[in-house]
A and B are shown apart, each in its own frame.
Chain A
Amino acid sequence: MRLSRMGAFYPTRLSFMRKLIRRLNREQAVVSRPVWEIDVDGYGRAVYSVPLGGDVYSLVAFSTPLAPEHRSDRVIAEAWDTTYVLYDGVPTSRDLDRLAKNVPHQEAGRFAQTELVLCRANKSVRLFEHVVERLSHGRQPDAEMIRRIGYLLRTTAVYGNGKFGIADRSRIEMRPALHGAFQAEMLAVWLVRGFTHDLVEHIAVVRGGYHAVPLQAVVKRHIGVGNATGLGMAPFLISHPTLLHNWMLERETALAMVRAERHAAPETIDRFCTLVGRAGQHLEEWTTDDTIQASRTHSVRQELKDVAALTTSAWLAEPFPWDRLITHAERWSLECQELLVALILEPHGHLIDDIARHWSGAQTPQTAPGMTLRELDRHIANQFAWALAIDFGSPKASHYFWYVSEDKQEPRLGDRRNEAGADQEMPLDVARQIQALAQALTTSDPDETTATFLIRRPDLRYVVRRVQTAVRHPYSEIQDNLISADCRPIDLLRCKLAQFGASKFDPKSDRWTRITLFQGAPTFDTIHGSDADDWCFPILDQGDEAVTQ
Chain B
Amino acid sequence: MLTTGVFQSSIRAMKPSLNEIDVVVRKAAVGVGWSYGVGEDVGRAAAWLVAQGHDGVGTAIAAIQPGASVARCEPTADGWAFPQARVAAVGLSAFELLAIDPSRRVILRNVDHPLLLIGLAGVAAVDNGGAYMLTGCTTERIAERINVSANHATFAGAKLTGETVSVERSTPSNHAPLETQAVAVIDDTVWRQALALAARTYVPASETSRAHGAGAGLTDND
Q: Kindly name the residue among B38, B127, B205, B209 whose own CB sees the greatest number of chain A CB atoms within 10 A.
A: B209
B17 with A231: CB separation less than 8 A: no
Report how far A267 CA is from B172 CA in the complex, Å.
54
A369 with B100: CB separation less than 8 A: yes
- Which residue of chain B is the closest to A370 with respect to CB atoms? B100
- Which residue of chain B is the closest to A160 with respect to CB atoms? B19
B201 with A165: CB separation less than 8 A: no
A113 with B71: CB separation less than 8 A: no
List the A side residues contacting B17 at CB < 8 Å.
Answer: 113, 161-163, 165-168
List the A side residues contacting B210 at CB < 8 Å.
Answer: 76, 405, 407
* B149 contacts partner chain A, Cβ-Cβ < 8 Å: no
Report how far A462 CA is from B39 CA in the complex, Å.
9
Q: Which residues of B contact A (CB under 8 A)?
A: 14-20, 34-38, 40-41, 44, 69, 71, 73, 89-90, 93, 96-97, 99-100, 126-128, 178, 180-182, 199-206, 208-210, 213-217, 220-222
Q: List 15 A-B contacts (CB under 8 A).
A: A110-B14, A113-B17, A163-B20, A165-B16, A168-B182, A170-B18, A230-B214, A369-B99, A404-B202, A405-B203, A455-B73, A461-B36, A508-B215, A508-B217, A509-B217
B127 with A366: CB separation less than 8 A: yes
List the A side residues contacting B182 at CB < 8 Å.
Answer: 168
Given the known interface contacts A124-B222, A420-B204, A464-B37, the answer about A458 and B19 at a Cβ–Cβ threshold of 8 Å is: no
Given the known interface contacts A71-B221, A163-B20, A465-B37, the answer about A168 and B180 at a Cβ–Cβ threshold of 8 Å is: yes
A412 with B201: CB separation less than 8 A: no
Given the known interface contacts A165-B15, A413-B213, A458-B71, the answer about A404 and B201 at a Cβ–Cβ threshold of 8 Å is: yes
Report how far A72 CA is from B222 CA in the complex, Å.
10
Report how far A460 CA is from B208 CA in the complex, Å.
32
List the B side residues contacting A511 at CB < 8 Å.
Answer: 214-215
B220 with A122: CB separation less than 8 A: yes
B36 with A364: CB separation less than 8 A: no
Q: Is the interface of A mostly helix, strand, loop or mixed?
A: mixed
B216 with A73: CB separation less than 8 A: yes
B215 with A413: CB separation less than 8 A: yes
Q: Quick check: which of A43-51, A96-104, A139-147, A446-454 contacts chain B, the rest being far away?
A: A446-454
Known contacts A165-B14, A458-B34; 15 further A-B pairs (Cβ under 8 A): A74-B216, A110-B14, A125-B222, A161-B17, A162-B16, A168-B180, A405-B213, A406-B203, A419-B208, A449-B100, A451-B93, A455-B73, A458-B71, A462-B36, A512-B217
Given the known interface contacts A412-B213, A455-B71, A455-B73, the answer about A364 and B100 at a Cβ–Cβ threshold of 8 Å is: no
* A126 contacts partner chain B, Cβ-Cβ < 8 Å: yes
Report how far A409 CA is from B23 CA in the complex, Å.
13
B96 CB → nearest A CB, Å: 4
